[in-house]
Amino acid sequence: MTPTKKALLPELFIILCCLATAGLILIDTISRRAVKPQNFNLLARHFIRKGILPNIELVLIVIVLIVLFILLSKYKPNQKDRFLLYSRLAGVFLGIWLIYLSSSYFVSLVWKTPKKTVYFPQLAGAFLEGKTYLTDPSSVTDLTSYQGELYVAFPPLPSLLMLPQIAMQDVDSVNTVQFTIFFGALNAALAFAILELLARHSLTSLNRAGNLWLTVLFAFGSVHWYMSLVGHIWYLSQIVTVTFAALAVFLLLETRSLVLASLALAIGMLARPTIVLMWPLLYALYFELNALTSQDYLRRSIKPVLFSALPIGLAISGLLWYNFIRFDSPFDFGYQTMNVGDYLKPALAAYGQFNFHFVMDNLTTMFFALPRWNPSCGFPAPDGNGMSILITTPALIFLYKARGKSLWVWSAWFSVLLLLLPLLLYFNNGSFQFGFRFLMDLIVPLLCLLAFGAGQRLSFGMRLLILVGVLVNYYGLLWFFIRLCKLS
């Protein structure tokens, strides 16, 4: 066999694995829904009537944008690469949005706003009435009681994003599942754009095929897939945070503006304040893109750094003011007295929201927690308390390759460590979940590091592990939503 043919064998094997993975998921999904053909037909019609048609304007807008950007790339040759990137970004968004939406109808069977623990639409409605508390919520789980009123302790960004729709219609008009799917698909599109821009700026050397593979890892080979379909308050908040963390990196790479990137990051803080700890990555990218040197970086960066601190400072001030008008203290976020699950109350009361007491439990969940054998189905079953990120996203093992002298690589690792600190000290490892959902706080810098470590093309082993991650997370969808192989 010639060397050329030998080199083709791994590629052919990967192609077969891709087809097998997609085919397995498709066949399994259809077989589960086609047990009763009449029900399957009703579900398909419901998907078109309730899923596609209400969003037909979105679909048409994205298609028009794709065509427009392609045309602009032909008529503005000096901006060809930029417009082609935007067209691909729009295409990735539309493709993943369709897959996520299909997953909600045909896999998870959850396509409407959950009945309990949603809260953000109701909070947006309360804002429009000049209130910061909920009136007659459907549940009191994870709400904070203060002076006879019930408050949503979580920062309010998702509610703020829902305000326009609720102002024009009403609270019930917001479908939180479709709301989260939109931002989940946007996250994947931004992830692809970030990977492409890193390569364009020679910060990574990964080819487009590799960037698409890593986008698949992000969208389907991680817990991001199931989290984008849930619609509950915790997952919604995290997905929206990822949107603005990714937008921050995208804006930095596209505009070289530290101020714009910090503005996006500041908006993300209104969902999860700790995301500000990703700022060192933004500054390092700014440093590299603007070719700053050790001699002139202070002179050339002091103004952008000061201006970038303004939106972050405003976000912090806004959060402190929001706390004060709710709980009469700027430093009370409402978590200490939140109505958490009974299994969390003793630890929260004894150690507070953040404490070194929780480090070992969180580390164990994040890296070492394994599925448990379920004799009733003859298969390993996920543990609802959490599971190792190396099981749900096994390709993360290739992070060991992300080594180099580049400032932005070191800063990406530093941002990961900073973001890890509050997660390890937190009193809650994620509660009922598939995998470790707090991985999403780290996913943007981790994705950049994977791209850097991969070199010019993804290795055979890395692509194989991405496909394994897709299958694991498909299983996670079935386990989380329809309780497949659930432990009693």
Confidence of residue 116 (pLDDT cuts 50, 70, 90): confident
Confidence of residue 448 (pLDDT cuts 50, 70, 90): very high
Q: Which residue has the higher pLDDT, 300 or 68?
A: 68
pLDDT at 320: 96
pLDDT of 370 > 80? The answer is yes
pLDDT of 36 > 80? The answer is no
Overall average pLDDT of the 32-50 stretch: 79
- This model's pTM is above 0.85: yes
Confidence of residue 363 (pLDDT cuts 50, 70, 90): very high
- Please state which of the ranges 60-64, 192-196, 331-335 shows the lowest mean pLDDT: 331-335
Percentage above 90 pLDDT, the chain: 68
pLDDT of 143 > 80? The answer is yes
pLDDT at 336: 85
pLDDT of 44 > 80? The answer is yes
- Please state which of the ranges 72-81, 146-155, 294-303, 475-484 shows the lowest mean pLDDT: 294-303
Q: How far apart are CA 240 and CA 267, in angstroms?
A: 10
Q: Chain-wide mean pLDDT for the chain?
A: 91
Q: What is the 3-state secondary structure (H, E, C) of the chain?
A: CCHHHHHHHHHHHHHHHHHHHHHHHHHHHHHHHCCCHHHHHHHHHHHHHHHHHHHHHHHHHHHHHHHHHHHHHHHCHHHHHHHHHHHHHHHHHHHHHHHHHHHHHHCCCCCCCCCCCCCHHHHHHHHHCCCCCECCCCCCCCEEEECCEEEECCCCHHHHHHHHHHHHCCHHHCCHHHHHHHHHHHHHHHHHHHHHHHHHCCCCCCCHHHHHHHHHHHHHCCCHHHHCCCCCHHHHHHHHHHHHHHHHHHHHHHHCCHHHHHHHHHHHHCCCHHHHHHHHHHHHHHHHHCCCCCCCHHHHHHHHHHHHHHHHHHHHHHHHHHHHHHHCCCCCCCCCCECCCCCCHHHHHHHCCECHHHHHHHHHHHHHCCCEEECCCCEEECCCCCCCHHHHCHHHHHHHHCCCCCHHHHHHHHHHHHHHHHHHHECCCCCCCCCCHHHHHCHHHHHHHHHHHHCCCCCHHHHHHHHHHHHHHHHHHHHHHHCCCCCC
Confidence of residue 292 (pLDDT cuts 50, 70, 90): low
pLDDT at 298: 64
- Please state which of the ranges 89-98, 254-263, 297-306, 367-376 shows the lowest mean pLDDT: 297-306
pLDDT at 205: 95
pLDDT at 297: 64
Confidence of residue 3 (pLDDT cuts 50, 70, 90): low
